[in-house]
Chains A and B, each alone.
Chain A
């Protein structure tokens, strides 16, 4: 130890050659900092016993940790040697000889290296094992199958609100908006629909879409066709549904066609009819998939691996109401 540290030269810290006065001052600072740590630690205990208080606890913990930090850093910077040391840097690796030696060691057993057929067999066996071990990963989720293509809405389903109670036309004032679900599925993620009293005079729907909007009431999927957020804002003056996540904007009056933002596909319209008692029923499911687009949405479900669907567990959220 003494060989490595010559005693003849004046000691030098990272902050210069210290004077005795400066050393004493540094020592006092370190002790003061450590003292603060001990005191605030005790204070923290007392505060905890008294029932605690988040802000005070944070301050005391910060002082506790900060005291240690300051003390240790001052100690290192003011009272320890700041001598610069030089360590040689050797070239990494042992050169050609070393890599040849490794290659030799790997292959010098003829019983291993010359048995090409057995090596291939081993690789084949391990691949088979890997495949067998990976396949259970498929159990992690059911094959999507048709689940992305349909929602719990069915022909004749009663239109209800969050509370499961049937929504009446008289409950929705002009420009009013209600989030609705098929009866029995209140709160359901895929079935969520906005029912808007847009007014027959303002709606400009064509053909079938117009018949699906009785008395100026029109219903669109509430799942944004961009990234799936609920389209939760309605700017009545412009008849615009807006998604607060990415600001996709849909014109309710012309079939929820996107007019601004990243969404490119209209919100699917739910076919509804107004019953004699003022409630609504669905005429069927949405005519197209709701929510964000996916590559095969116009082609239909793609089956990978055939029978996955039957073997996989059914998640609660995709429970189907039946045909």
Chain B
């Protein structure tokens, strides 16, 4: 307790003088935490190699971020968690079989991390200025550069430590190449197929296989208000609608939307990739349009394109439009429209 003195060194700064607890790094780490169930499901079904792949992406991302910052002489923002999150997402978008692929492909996660962190993010101005989702560009680069290694899928292994597993095709791959009948044959019946997709007992990228695990993380983010419903709901809704209308053999309105929603990267994309703050619109109405675009492009690629899966390209294409959508959907200024109505005497 000290009495009032004259000429005290008062701290002077601009208003507001109080700030919320939220920080950029807390957001990044919370999103990373929300990805944990999906990552664990990947490790459960593909063994420790899934963890190794993801870890090598995370470590490479952090190292590249550090090095870049050192070279350009900027303060290192590694603590903001964004490089970690990018590495995590990138790893979860890779097939676990990369680890056991022959010839040895350990360079794939490293190069993809470089492309994600340095080229996609830092060269565009760093966090907040990248046009494209860094993890997705990293994955796209890897897919185009090493198409074989990136599309060898292994069967979910019963053994946790299994390093070698039988290769197989993803459900979407089967659907594309051999049709829905073959898919049913592989998984038994409809219920069994849905269950496998929900739980994650199927071939695919490490983090995309278990719809339930992803949903847990997504709903967690929704509950924490880190994301809103706008992008996931419009994304998944549009995709489901298109799958139902156009996904059937021959006749319209005979497709199976559930298979499409639960397979491939649909869930991971809609909840965790398309909702990336930096590369999606920040106005709510714009987010709905963005989600519709993602859903529609995904289904166009899946149903009419050459690839079995389209989530990655769909989101990347829509990323380009995010700034434009924000401009078009500029938020409405208070009082701007209701001028005449406001005159009424109550």
* Pair from one complex: no
Chain A interface residues (CB < 8 Å from chain B): none
Chain B interface residues (CB < 8 Å from chain A): none
